[in-house]
Amino acid sequence: MNTIDKGTVEPAAQDEKRLLFFNYHEHQIHRYRIPTEPQDDFHEQSIIITHFPNPYTRPDTLETHSTRIVRVPRVFNSRGARYPEFSIQLPGEEDAAIKDDDNGSYHQFLPKAEYNRQWYGSSSVSPLSLYLSDVEFREIVQGVNKLSKTAYESWSILNVVELVLDIFTLWLFMDLVMPISKHVGKGCFVSYFYDVLTSRQNLQRLEDYVEEVNSKLTARGVRIISPRRSGYLSVSFAN
């Protein structure tokens, strides 16, 4: 006879219901070429596609063929419904990431097979692990998330004040304040008012942050792509 109280959930059932996060941009394939083969063939062991062609450059440029994109997924939790928030876990470190049993370290990208003239591994670890540590990656994305929240949080004080001003001025507030702010420059009340209270300026701070990060990463051969260019569906790194 089952003696468990109706209001109690067994530990095993709790584990089964817990959702595990993974990078939904990645996918696996079984047809590829390993170094000992002359051409593609079907394999039981899959490889994981963790990096992609660069869609942010013109197709006829050298950069298109020399760079790859690693996409960091957006997190759709209770906060993610209010403003864009992105995973702070280095790709391959997520709870449901695919691990490579042949690789003693899950934290390093290990290419094993060729597909469409690019090399991939059999785990969720991407080439980004060759450029950034877990800590560095987390700090960068946390900075993006913080600025995204400031700009997009629906019920933040700044956004509510801006909305009220727009309503009372029949949506002329932004059209009037922004040109005045640019004309008078820094140091006056109107300019300060625009900088502090407008969501557009907060979005510009996010763009400035991306440029600042890229200035530090240039020497490593990797850069972050502004989430605005992906419609805030992901944060992309080019390497």
pLDDT one-digit tens code per residue, 118-162: 999 999 999 999 999 999 999 999 999 999 888 877 666 666 777
**Alpha carbon 64 to chain centroid, angstroms:** 20
Give the number of residues written for the chain: 239
Strand residue runs (E) in 5-82? 27-32, 41-49, 69-73
CA dihedral 95, 96, 100, 101 (to 10 degrees): 80
The burial class, CB within 10 Å (0-12 / 13-18 / 19+), for 21 is: middle
- Calculate what percentage of the chain has a pLDDT beyond 90: 34
The answer to whether residues 59 and 67 touch, using CB atoms and an 8 Å cutoff, is no
**Alpha carbon 84 to chain centroid, angstroms:** 10
Most confident of 102-116, 127-141, 183-197: 127-141
pLDDT one-digit tens code per residue, 219-231: 899 999 998 888 8
Calpha distance 129→132 (Å, rounded)? 5
* Range 90-118 average pLDDT: 81
Mean pLDDT over each residue of the chain, to the nearest integer = 79
Strand residue runs (E) in 3-40? 27-32
Note the pLDDT of residue 6.
Answer: 47
The answer to whether residues 103 and 97 touch, using CB atoms and an 8 Å cutoff, is no
- DSSP letter for 230, please: G
Three-state secondary structure call for residue 42: strand
Phi, psi for residue 119 in degrees, rounded to 5: -105, 140
Any residues with CB less than 8 A from the CB of 68 and at least 6 apart, and which?
A: 51, 52, 53, 54, 118, 127, 238, 239
The burial class, CB within 10 Å (0-12 / 13-18 / 19+), for 29 is: middle
The kind and range of the H/E element at 204 are helix 199-217
Comparing CA positions, the residue from 148, 177, 158 lying closest to residue 83 is 148
* Range 173-190 average pLDDT: 56
The answer to whether residues 152 and 83 touch, using CB atoms and an 8 Å cutoff, is yes
The burial class, CB within 10 Å (0-12 / 13-18 / 19+), for 119 is: middle
**Alpha carbon 195 to chain centroid, angstroms:** 26
Note the pLDDT of residue 168.
Answer: 81
Three-state secondary structure call for residue 74: strand
Note the pLDDT of residue 4.
Answer: 42
Note the pLDDT of residue 8.
Answer: 45
Domain assignments of the chain as residue spans, ordered by start: 20-238
The answer, yes or no, to whether residue 169 has pLDDT greater than 90, is no
